[in-house]
């Protein structure tokens, strides 16, 4: 049984600094050589984090290979256990492995340039053009630079138009990819559904690629940490993967149907609990210390504002999500890379007389470091169990955020700084997607959102299955109800140190003793 798996998925071996060797099937090699996948060689994985961690310049292409490798390890382990229907009729076949491995390889095939920041810019522009559409984000003004840095930096991308949905479109519309999949008797539509996590009939697929502990998160923690030169990615990968199980879990119904439903879900043997807790903590610190580093997010904020300005002022085939989708299968799509965006930005900035655009360009092209003004951190409840509990722990944090959102001009005037060059970013990170009080047995199939489906489940020696987040013996249980929020304030351009200090004092003077 295991030999048949190895026979199919050892057509070619690729060397990798993280895993040693990555094995591929013939179909996967063909997919790897498509123009759509090769485009990912020219999109960096870590975006502007490389401005702080210089070795973090690896591509989405190598990350995609890494996700394939981890998914392959998961699939091989599950195939060894459930390759035949001898364990409670649970079956994990070679066909399951084929589809999951292909989805893992192609999961970033629709990625935008500049990592995730361009998605936010397109969402921001969509909100401008569709003011009747309710999208999470601040009030925006298209012709005013005053709040642009802060507004763009804190705008939330639209899930319906993110890189995963773009990837599903690529899988269904790219002629090379569809031809390869169809010749392998694999449905492009099904692969697209796995990529976006729309697999209600097969939750196991979604859990392995979209959950709190999935192939994607494992690779970017290990790979990005390694490339950044930090040690957060030193987790017990092989041990965690060996604790993977598929179990039939009962979920009740709220719709009046008498019989409860039984569905197959991914769970982890309790022996792996401490290694999994280590992974969650490692990912938390990777986010706070690398992805949300105060300097890299300030550069990213400047880049978002610059990309927005250039897209508004320049005619390209990539005006919005729909325009990009229309390019799939054409040369324009394969040219939409970091290199193209850099060159488009350069041309616009060289010809522009706009001082704001010039300042943004100097910041991101010459790495002119934004001047750091203030950083505040607060730990707040995600969702209060006690209705009387205060929603904010630190009033200074809350008031500072309110001040930069609502009195920016006054603060800038007190410091003698142009308010258009003052930016702020609020970053949030938490350990798990659900709260500590949620019990596995209380979940309903009629209301089975992504955060519940993707939460980590632990199975004890007696076969009882619970959420890791609800285990009262785990420190994770004591921490999952809280979110760590960090507010970073900075100034772009050639601002004097004393002015930055005056801005800091202007903020602090209004928050003291409040």
- Count of CB atoms situated within 10 Å of the CB of 262: 12
Q: Give the residue ranges of DSSP H helices in 314-394.
A: 321-327, 331-334, 338-351, 355-365
What dihedral angle (degrees, nearest 10) is formed by the CA atoms of 392, 395, 396, 398?
A: 50
- For the chain, the structural domain boundaries read 2-116+157-292+432-479
Q: Are strands 20-24 and 12-16 parallel, antiparallel or unpaired?
A: antiparallel
| Those residues with Cβ within 8 angstroms of residue 219's Cβ, 6 or more apart along the chain or in another chain | 18, 63, 66, 67, 69, 70
pLDDT at 262: 82
Superfamily holding 2-116+157-292+432-479: Hypothetical protein af1432 (1.10.3210.10)
b vs e for 189-219, b when ≥16 Cβ sit within 10 Å of the residue's Cβ? Answer: ebbbbbbbbbbeebbbbbbbbbbbbbbbbbb
Q: With contact defined as beta carbons under 8 Å apart, do 59 and 113 qualify?
A: no
Which pair of tokens denotes residue 33? Answer: 């050589």
For every one of its 514 residues, what pLDDT tens digit does the chain have, with 9 covering 90 and above? 557 888 899 999 999 999 999 999 999 999 999 999 999 999 999 999 999 999 999 999 999 999 999 999 999 999 999 987 665 689 999 999 999 999 999 999 999 999 899 999 999 999 888 864 444 444 444 456 888 999 999 998 888 889 999 999 999 999 999 999 999 999 999 999 999 998 676 899 999 999 999 999 999 999 999 999 999 889 999 999 999 999 998 876 666 554 567 889 999 999 999 999 999 999 999 999 999 999 999 999 999 999 999 999 999 999 999 999 999 999 999 999 999 999 999 999 999 999 999 999 999 999 999 999 999 999 988 765 554 555 557 889 999 999 999 999 999 999 999 999 999 999 999 999 888 888 877 776 666 678 888 899 999 999 999 999 999 989 899 999 999 999 999 999 999 999 999 999 999 999 875 5
Phi then psi for 431, rounded to 5 degrees?
-80, -40
CA–CA gap between residue 191 and residue 184 (Å, rounded):
12
Sign of the dihedral defined by the CA atoms of residues 221, 223, 227, 232, in that order: positive
Q: With contact defined as beta carbons under 8 Å apart, do 191 and 103 qualify?
A: yes
pLDDT at 141: 46
Phi then psi for 511, rounded to 5 degrees?
-105, -10
**Sheet containing 457-459: order of strands:** 244-251, 261-269, 457-459, 465-467
Which pair of tokens denotes residue 351? Answer: 């010809």
- Count of CB atoms situated within 10 Å of the CB of 505: 13
DSSP H or E run through 335: none
pLDDT at 254: 65
CA–CA gap between residue 487 and residue 428 (Å, rounded):
9
DSSP 158: P
CA–CA gap between residue 359 and residue 495 (Å, rounded):
11
DSSP H or E run through 82: helix 60-82
Region for 286 from its dihedrals, namely left if φ exceeds 0, alpha if ψ lies in -120 to 50, beta otherwise: alpha
Looking at the DSSP bridge assignments, the partners of residue 138 are none
Angle at Cα 299 formed by Cα 297 and Cα 303, nearest 5°? 110
DSSP H or E run through 493: none
Using CB atoms within 10 Å of the CB of residue 93, give its burial: 0 to 12 exposed, 13 to 18 middle, 19+ buried: middle
The single residue listed with the structure tokens 């879990």 is: 249
Contacts by residues 353-362 (CB-CB < 8 Å, ≥ 24 positions apart): 354/309, 356/145, 356/309, 356/420, 356/421, 357/306, 357/309, 357/310, 359/421, 359/492, 359/493, 360/302, 360/303, 360/305, 360/306, 360/309, 360/492, 361/306, 362/493
């Amino acid at each position: 049984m295991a030999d048949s798996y190895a026979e199919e998925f050892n057509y070619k071996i690729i060397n990798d600094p993280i895993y040693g060797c990555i094995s591929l099937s013939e179909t996967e090699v063909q997919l790897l050589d498509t123009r759509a996948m090769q485009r990912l060689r020219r999109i960096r994985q870590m975006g502007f984090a490389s401005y702080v961690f210089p070795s973090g310049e690896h591509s989405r292409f190598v990350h995609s290979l890494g996700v394939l490798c981890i998914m392959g390890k998961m699939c091989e382990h599950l195939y060894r256990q459930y390759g035949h229907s001898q364990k409670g009729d649970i079956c994990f076949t070679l066909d399951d492995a084929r589809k999951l491995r292909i989805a893992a390889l192609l999961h970033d095939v629709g990625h935008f340039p500049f990592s995730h920041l361009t998605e936010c810019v397109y969402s921001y522009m969509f909100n401008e053009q569709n003011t009747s559409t309710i999208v999470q984000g601040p009030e925006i003004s298209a012709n005013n630079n005053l709040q642009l840095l802060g507004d763009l930096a804190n705008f939330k991308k639209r899930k319906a138009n993110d890189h995963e949905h773009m990837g599903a479109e690529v899988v269904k519309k790219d002629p090379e990819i569809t031809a390869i999949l169809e010749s392998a008797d694999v449905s492009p539509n099904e692969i697209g559904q796995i990529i976006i996590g729309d697999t209600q009939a097969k939750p196991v697929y979604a859990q392995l690629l979209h959950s709190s502990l999935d192939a994607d998160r494992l690779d970017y923690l290990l790979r990005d940490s390694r490339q950044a030169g930090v040690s957060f990615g030193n987790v017990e990968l092989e041990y965690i993967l060996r604790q993977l199980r598929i179990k039939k879990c009962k979920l009740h119904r709220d719709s009046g149907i008498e019989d409860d439903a039984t569905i197959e879900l991914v769970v982890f043997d309790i022996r792996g609990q401490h290694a999994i807790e280590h992974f969650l903590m490692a990912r938390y610190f990777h986010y706070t210390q690398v992805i949300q580093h105060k300097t890299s997010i300030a550069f990213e904020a400047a880049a978002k504002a610059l990309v927005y300005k250039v897209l508004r002022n320049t005619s390209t085939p990539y005006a919005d999500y729909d325009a990009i989708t229309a390019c799939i299968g054409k040369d324009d799509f394969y040219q939409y890379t970091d290199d193209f965006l850099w060159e488009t930005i350069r041309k616009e900035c060289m010809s522009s007389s706009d001082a704001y655009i010039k300042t943004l360009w100097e910041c991101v092209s010459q790495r002119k470091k934004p001047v750091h003004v203030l950083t505040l951190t607060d730990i707040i409840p995600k969702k209060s169990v006690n209705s009387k509990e205060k929603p904010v722990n630190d009033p200074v944090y809350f008031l500072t955020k309110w001040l930069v959102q609502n009195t920016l001009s006054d603060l800038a005037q007190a410091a003698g700084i142009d308010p258009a060059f003052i930016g702020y970013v609020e970053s949030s990170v938490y350990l798990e997607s659900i709260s500590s009080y949620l019990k596995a047995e209380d979940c309903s199939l009629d209301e089975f959102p992504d955060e519940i489906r993707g939460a980590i489940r632990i199975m004890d020696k007696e076969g009882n299955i619970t959420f890791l987040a609800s285990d009262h013996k785990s420190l994770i249980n004591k921490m999952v109800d809280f979110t760590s929020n960090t507010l970073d304030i900075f100034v772009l351009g050639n601002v004097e140190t004393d002015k930055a200090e005056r801005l800091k004092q202007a903020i602090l003077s209004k928050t003291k003793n409040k």
